[in-house]
Amino acid sequence: MGVVRKTQSVNLVLNAFKAENKAISVIDLVDRFSDKINKTTVYRVLDRLEDDGVLHSFLGVNGIKWYAPCKDCSEHKHTDVHPHFQCTDCGKIDCLNVDIIIPKLPNREVAGAQVLIQGKCEACCN
Amino acid sequence: MGVVRKTQSVNLVLNAFKAENKAISVIDLVDRFSDKINKTTVYRVLDRLEDDGVLHSFLGVNGIKWYAPCKDCSEHKHTDVHPHFQCTDCGKIDCLNVDIIIPKLPNREVAGAQVLIQGKCEACCN
DNA sequence: TTTGTTAATGCAACTAAGTTGTATTAAATT
DNA sequence: AATTTAATACAACTTAGTTGCATTAACAAA
């Protein structure tokens, strides 16, 4: 909800995700835009873009927040419950285009799941 | 590795896990022992117990660290890669005794996975 | 194109989780 | 009981993220 203005900050952040089609950590974003966008603004821009279904967020190994572009999400429906893969060598995270089967749990109401697979990425496997 | 002494702090922490057989967040532990154990000590005790395969740690929804007793872990082998279930209502986390199947990923070396299932727990389902 | 509205920003100060260094204390060993 | 050294308390620090508020800049309407 709410009017989302195409501000300079929004454009800068969106271009970053367009340029490299992978997840970027908030820390990385705050750092790389430190001379152009205020830290607080980065956090708020990401919040807004997530609300609008443009980005989705999740947590990396150390509890650091990461963002990645959404594919099938909208403002009203967030279907992006795919797993993420974090490389233990280089630290990079990719979105995986596979489905994880969550088993039925008796007496519990499953609403979603966060799956972070760890290991060596393609580049670091050599 | 390393000699682990059965200190007062270690006993207090271990008793907490023995009393309630579920995961406890670091924040909770630091808080409930605030008048008996120093914050730094709580962190270091948990570190040691995890190294020794007594406890295992994982991250909750907000990137907060949680600990739970290990069942089949040892100092040398950590096999506890079961999923955890966090209730979106009451915030409590349980260890789930089910296996999650991680799909084979081409060109990647999978080392482990963190699975956090979210929803309503048994108590909050009513 | 100017004006008015208000979303968005910058800045400073703050909170909260977790870490580090160091002197002191208390397990365990002799 | 004396000795060794792991473990602790305390203070200070780091880092991720938030809050409040005055200012700025999108953007719509005149």
Residue A10 Cβ < 7 Å to strand C: yes
Q: What are the pLDDT digits (tens) for A7-64?
A: 999 999 999 999 988 899 999 999 999 999 999 999 999 999 999 999 999 999 889 9
Can you say whether the dihedral through the CA atoms of A31, A32, A37, A43 is positive or negative? Answer: negative
Q: What pLDDT, on the 0 to 100 scale, is given for residue A76?
A: 45
Q: Which residues of chain A does B108 touch, with a Cβ-Cβ cutoff of 8 Å?
A: 85, 119-122, 125
What was the pLDDT predicted at A85? 94
- Cβ contacts from A onto B, under 8 A: 96
The three-state secondary structure class of A58 is strand
Nearest CA in chain A to B88: A111
Q: What does the alpha-carbon distance between residue B60 and residue B125 come to, in Å, rounded to a whole number?
A: 20
Tell me the CA–C1' distance in angstroms for B112 and D22.
49
Torsion sign (Cα): B37, B41, B47, B48: negative
> Smallest Cα–Cα separation from B23: which of B70, B66, B72, B60?
B66
Cα dist from A90 to A120, A122, B110, whole Å: 8, 11, 14
Per-residue pLDDT reduced to its tens digit, B83-117: 999 999 899 999 998 888 888 899 999 988 999 99
pLDDT the model gives residue B1: 40
Segment A106-125, tens digit of pLDDT: 999 998 899 999 999 999 98
The end-to-end CA distance of chain B, in Å, is: 46
What gap in Å lies between CA B40 and CA B25, rounded to an integer? 15
Q: Is the CB of B54 under 7 A from strand D?
A: no
Provide the positions of strand D that have an atom within 7 A of a protein CB.
Answer: 6-12, 15-20, 25-27
Chain A (70-99) residues lying within 8 Å, Cβ to Cβ, of chain B: 83, 85, 88, 96, 98
Nearest to B103 by CA among A103, A97, A56: A97
